[in-house]
Amino acid sequence: MKRRDFIKNASFLTAGTMFTPLFLQQTLGKNTDPFEGKRVVIIQFSGGNDGLNTIVPYLDDLYHKARPTLSFKESEVFKLDNDLGINGNMKGIAELYDKGYVSVINNVGYPNPNRSHFRSMDIWHTASDSNEYIQTGWLGRYLDSYCKSVDSVIEYDNTLSLALKGANMKGVAVDQPYTFYNSLKVDQFDKLAKGASKETLDENNKGYLYKTLAEASQSAEYIYEKSRIYKSDVHFPNSYLGKSLKSISELIKSGIHTKVFYATMGGFDTHVNQKNSQNRLLKDYSDSVAAFVKELEKSGNFDDTIIMTFSEFGRRVAQNASQGTDHGAANNVFLIGKNLKSKGIVNENPDLFNLHQGDLIYSVDFRSIYADLLDNWLNVSSSEILSKKINTLRLV
């Protein structure tokens, strides 16, 4: 096949499943050693989740004054510590909190916050300063420096987030293992992938394309075969996040060597009629994570897993005229695990008296959480990956 025709026909990649190339070892998919080490599961709330109606300062008069119709009463939350409560739709997370499995970090953000979804998410994905533009993600740089095989990072989505893109190596995005595998079994591509010899890969004209196809085909086959080993009998919500976390739990039980899993949940841009839509989303999140933890405990994998949940920014303290909230700044981050070093409410409550242009002021740089996960959980050098020394909170 001519290079031009290959590129033209490769448009099938955008129809349901998209992959990015991984530069793999020759032993790809043949490693049968048991998984060793620890793993991180990251859940991204896209759209800017309203942290004040997630972890609720239900006794703060300023909260109720700023949100006359959106605020939650004491009877509508599960009480935590420090006069804070968790949204009453998040029973599953509340129960995990009571077990000592949850850390809540308040007021997380970065200097000179940006209220654009795209720019703020890029900052979180790349771990950059607000005036700094980086083309690689923090997990992509982790891949570049410390990983060599396909089973390092998997994102459950049909496109790959910037967070997982390195300079030399990229994670793999897969909506469902079978879809990913089946999309690469079109006859002409299957034959090309299987016929990609060393000599073929050395050809200047077609080498990179053959290499990309061969690696993607091997990635798809490896993930698909692992996905068939174990099927969970725990009930998960029949939602996109529920299905993603169920698939991740099954891959973990199968023994896949993945260090980082990444999942996304959208719909949090609640400018209008926020309460019902956010409540529904948070219930789905809570039920899905509770089922995920139940499965990990059942399979004996919870000890070695940390779940982190974040959003690109929080919302304004005051509600708007449309029964919603607009783009804000600092927010809360959740860490969920069995052996957390800091449990419960980790730091001070949101300060609703001292605001900046109507927004909460950050006191915890989000990169300190990344540094903690890298240094103290994945056991790699955060200063190398983040290109600076960041003080950690020692949460894990």
Summarize pLDDT for 33-78 with one digit per residue, the tens.
Answer: 677 789 999 999 999 999 999 999 999 999 999 999 999 999 999 9
Strands (E) located in the chain? 39-45, 55-56, 77-79, 85-87, 102-109, 153-156, 172-173, 260-265, 305-311, 331-336, 344-345, 364-365
Report the chain's C-alpha Rg in angstroms.
22
Q: Is residue 324 part of a domain?
A: yes
Asked if the structure places residue 215 within a domain, the reply is no
pLDDT at residue number 32:
56
**How much is the pLDDT for 19?**
40
Q: Domain range spanning residue 118? A: 40-175+237-386
In-domain check, residue 21: no
Kindly give the interhelix angle for 274-299 and 240-254, rounded to the nearest 10 degrees: 10
State pLDDT tens for residues 96-148.
Answer: 999 999 999 999 999 999 999 999 999 999 999 999 999 999 999 999 999 87
Containing 185, the helix (H) or strand (E) segment is none
Q: What letters, b where the CB count within 10 A reaches 16 and e where it falls short, cover 12-29?
A: ebeeebbbbbbbbeeebb
Coil, strand or helix: which one is 335? strand
72-87 burial code (b ≥16 CB/10 A, e <16) = beeeebbebeeebbbb
In a domain, 123, yes or no: yes
Nearest to 308 by CA among 41, 123, 103: 41
> What are 364's strand-pairing partners?
108
Q: How many domains does the chain have?
A: 1
pLDDT of residue 395: 95
Q: What is the CATH number of the domain that holds 252?
A: 3.40.720
User: By mean pLDDT, which of 70-79, 250-259, 266-275, 317-326 is the weakest?
Assistant: 250-259
Q: What are phi and psi of 78, to 5 degrees?
A: -90, 120
Does some domain include residue 207?
A: no
Which residues, 6+ apart, have CB-to-CB distance to 326 below 8 Å? 271, 315, 316, 320
pLDDT score for 93 = 98
Average pLDDT score over the chain: 85
Residue 211 lies in a domain: no
Backbone angles phi, psi at 104, to 5 degrees: -110, 120
> Does any domain span residue 133?
yes
Q: Is residue 249 part of a domain?
A: yes
Alpha-carbon distance 40 to 206, whole Å? Answer: 36
